[in-house]
Amino acid sequence: MSAADRLTPLGVMVLSMLREDAMHPYEMIRLMRIRRDDRILSLTNGTFYHTVARLERAGLIASTGVDRDGNRPERTTYALTPAGSGAATAWVRRELVRTGRPTEFRVALAEAHDLARDDVIALLERRRALLGADAAERSQALVDARATGVPDQYLVEADREAALDAADLAWLDAFLGRLRDPDTLWGEHAGGKTSARYLAQRKAARE
């Protein structure tokens, strides 16, 4: 089993955050809450610290020192290792394509900006093909069920799924269109780490 296979969605978010800078867990938790990443994953202190410990044992992150600020508890700062960077990249690439894993896909989308634009386009085009085939199959099954006289009351969930399929495909097509546009900023070119908003978030997370 590869390092990417052992990663959890929360572990990937920790590794991706450490691409920005070395941080201690308290700052990472604060930053995730400021950015509302807890919309994607349930975030508790216990689970977070356990995840950090697992990543360190796996060699995906490494301690860079312990600090104490006044009367506050000691805080260990962690940095991303090359193995951690590679594992996070592999996980995001895999989950951008895989279907039927909504939480993993949301995390992969949230961290896709760490990949090159052309890579993201190619991966999402593969996902689009898989989703399209699955949606067509489900849509035909719904048509067939109605043609054989199955009452609508038994097809409500299937009808909802067809609507969600259509919405998912429409969003993906629109996003791919924006991403193919060279005027759409992506990755380092978006200048996120130098923006006033980013710097304010980092400052607030350290307090």
Tens digit of each residue's pLDDT (9 = 90 or more) over 32-63: 999 999 999 999 999 999 999 999 999 999 99
Percentage of the chain lying above the pLDDT 90 cut = 81
Read off the pLDDT of residues 143-179 as tens digits, 9 standing for 90 and up. Answer: 999 999 999 999 999 999 999 999 999 999 999 999 9
User: Average pLDDT in the 108-133 region?
Assistant: 97
Q: Is the dihedral of CA 147, 150, 151, 152 positive or negative?
A: negative
DSSP string, 132-194: HHHHHHHHHHHHHHHHTT--GGGSHHHHHHHHHHHHHHHHHHHHHHHHHSTTS--GGGG-GGG
* Greater model confidence, 67 or 129: 129
* Among 129, 130, 95, residue whose Cα is nearest residue 110: 95
**169, 128 Cβ separation under 8 angstroms:** yes
Residue 73: per-residue pLDDT: 73
Residue 70: per-residue pLDDT: 64
Average pLDDT over the chain reads 93
- Under DSSP, is residue 53 helix (H, G, I), strand (E, B) or coil? helix
Report residue 194 as tokens: 């130098």
Residue 187: per-residue pLDDT: 85
Residue 114: per-residue pLDDT: 93
Residue 207: per-residue pLDDT: 76
